[in-house]
Amino acid sequence: MRIAVFGTGYLGATHAACMAELGHEVIGVDVDPAKVSRLQEGEAPFFEPGLPELLRRHTASGRLRFTHSYEVAAQSADVHFIAVGTPQRPDSAAADLSQVDAVVEALGPLLTGHAVVLGKSTVPVGTATGIADRIRALAPSPEIVVGWNPEFLREGTAVHDTLCPDRIVLGVGPGDRGRIESVTREVYAGPLADGTPLVVTDLATAELTKVAANSFLATKISFINSVAEVCDAVDADVSVLADAIGFDERIGRRFLNAGLGFGGACLPKDVRAFRARAAELGVSAAANLLADVERINSRQRTRVATMALEACRGIDNPRAAVLGLTFKPDSDDVRDSPALDVASRLAAAGVTVQAWDPHGMDNAERLHPELGYFDSPLAACKAADVVLVMTEWDEIRALTPSDLADTVSERVVIDARNCLDPAAWRTAGWTYRGIGRR
Ligand code: NAD
């Protein structure tokens, strides 16, 4: 198929490369000229395992191209994916739809023939119907149809998640199902042949599926973090507890790691946008639940910052080593990263922050130039009064107490991701503090 992808950020660049891998002819469109030229050279503008190989292979073969021209893209494709950002609005918890609106206004008048528009961006329920109406008003052809195909990829495993998704969700408007579903089946013929389920539903259900999925994951994390606080109060161990309840298939062990809480470009803003939309619709139970999920999440950051400041109390010019800056391992994304948030709070409180991350330092430094950045975990730990483990990168989990013992000033480690072995660190003479861990 001939496919255009509008917006080539974390989602769009991955989607474009994976569509080429599935055998389609793809053109990616972005308003950022630097991003377009890097992608056209076959270079990934961000760290995502497996993506550089796909970009190189398919830009070299010509099956994957990038442009800033809507005209070129509109002529080069029959299926148009909207994959631009929907960040939080600066003035409220709601989603900022200006990038999506800009795509619709620019693309709509250029659509011809039997083009199909598929939304991928995460949007508040009700958005897709408005977009379908607007595109019908703008497009010279009455045959244009709009569906919503939310994306569930996870940064760090985005290529795998796109090529082998758990499920494909497709929302269609009344009367539009036939053509949109058959085109979608052709686009995803590979994963569907491998047994990926396709859920076809109405536009509102498709939009809600995405924010409900992210809100559920966020709720799971805030649930275990609130249990961790109870564990702290009675000297119980939340990691053992999570293992024990996780054996129950109805609960499951994943997303039950107590720690610094969720962050990144999706979960926090999707939870906030869902809360705002639920409140707008007058559904207060959902809005209140999600407000609590957020409150618990932000309290985790305060708890870890407080633990670090307590460790530094009474020390002149204290130094904190911050290991890990990204919101999760295997990504360079520091958007709404809990690690970076805590690091900047410590710096604001007068602590000298010495940070290290295997892939997130350039992005972190752009946002927080006031922090110190070091080229190895050992260098970041030099003369530190407290070591904070903030992101569970393999390189950080692999550090042993003896690796750092002679480098630090004080043997105090705060394991904000509960990813170290407390017994090993305590036996080696360290003061170990985790989250809800004895
Ligand atoms: P991003 O900010 O990384 O990328 C957005 C891209 O769109 C940027 O490259 C920007 O230059 C470009 N853009 C902005 N306006 C444009 C326009 N008018 N025309 C063409 N390009 C334009 O965002 P992202 O993380 O890729 O997320 C995109 C959407 O996907 C969001 O709705 C997000 O919630 C959703 N999503 C993201 C992920 C993820 O892991 N990042 C996963 C699932 C869903």
Over the stretch 51-77, which tens digit does the pLDDT of each residue have?
999 999 999 999 999 999 999 999 999
**pLDDT (0 to 100) of residue 438:** 78
Residues 277-316: pLDDT tens digits? 999 999 999 999 999 999 999 999 999 999 999 999 999 9
- Statement: residue 142 has pLDDT above 90: no
238 and 283 within one domain? yes
Point out the domain boundary residue: 138, 168, 196.
196
What atom of ligand 1 comes closest to residue 150's alpha carbon?
44
26 and 136 within one domain? yes
333 and 253 within one domain? yes
Share of residues in the chain with pLDDT > 90 (%): 98
Reading the block at residue 58, the tokens are 């398919």
- Residue of the nearest CA to atom 11 in ligand 1? 32
For residue 14 and ligand 1, the question of a CB distance below 6 A is answered with: no
What is the 3-state composition of the chain as percent helix, strand, coil, each rounded to the nearest 5? Answer: 45, 15, 40
Q: How far is CA 428 from CA 308, 360, 387, 423, 431, in A?
A: 20, 30, 15, 8, 9
- Statement: residue 127 has pLDDT above 90: yes
Catalytically annotated residue among 18, 231, 266, 419: 266
As for how many domains the chain has, the answer is 2
Q: Does the annotation mark 419 as catalytic?
A: no
Helix (H, G, I), strand (E, B) or coil at 306: helix
More confident residue, 142 or 328: 328
What atom of ligand 1 comes closest to residue 45's alpha carbon?
9
For residue 335 and ligand 1, the question of a CB distance below 6 A is answered with: no
Question: DSSP assignment, residue 351?
Answer: P
Q: Is 38 domain-assigned?
A: yes
191 and 135 within one domain? yes
* pTM, full prediction: 0.95
176 and 276 within one domain? no
Share of residues in the chain with pLDDT > 70 (%): 100
Point out the domain boundary residue: 196, 230, 246.
196
246 and 342 within one domain? yes
For residue 31 and ligand 1, the question of a CB distance below 6 A is answered with: yes
Segments of 309-411 assigned E as strands:
319-323, 352-356, 372-373, 386-389
What atom of ligand 1 comes closest to residue 154's alpha carbon?
40
166 and 270 within one domain? no
For residue 9 and ligand 1, the question of a CB distance below 6 A is answered with: yes
260 and 159 within one domain? no
Point out the domain boundary residue: 135, 161, 196.
196
Contact by Cβ (8 Å): 22, 190: yes
What atom of ligand 1 comes closest to residue 266's alpha carbon?
34
The domain that contains 93 carries what CATH number?
A: 3.40.50.720
For residue 85 and ligand 1, the question of a CB distance below 6 A is answered with: yes
Residues 15-25: pLDDT tens digits? 999 999 999 99
For residue 20 and ligand 1, the question of a CB distance below 6 A is answered with: no
- Residue of the nearest CA to atom 23 in ligand 1? 85
**pLDDT (0 to 100) of residue 419:** 97
Domain range spanning residue 15?
A: 2-196
For residue 139 and ligand 1, the question of a CB distance below 6 A is answered with: no
- Residue of the nearest CA to atom 13 in ligand 1? 7
224 and 160 within one domain? no
162 and 255 within one domain? no
Q: Is 204 domain-assigned?
A: no
54 CA to centre of ligand 1 in angstroms = 19
Mutate to test the pocket of ligand 1, among 10, 97, 330 (most ligand atoms within 8 A of CB): 10
96 CA to centre of ligand 1 in angstroms = 12
For residue 343 and ligand 1, the question of a CB distance below 6 A is answered with: no
Q: What whole-number distance in Å separates Cα of residue 68 and Cα of residue 257?
A: 42
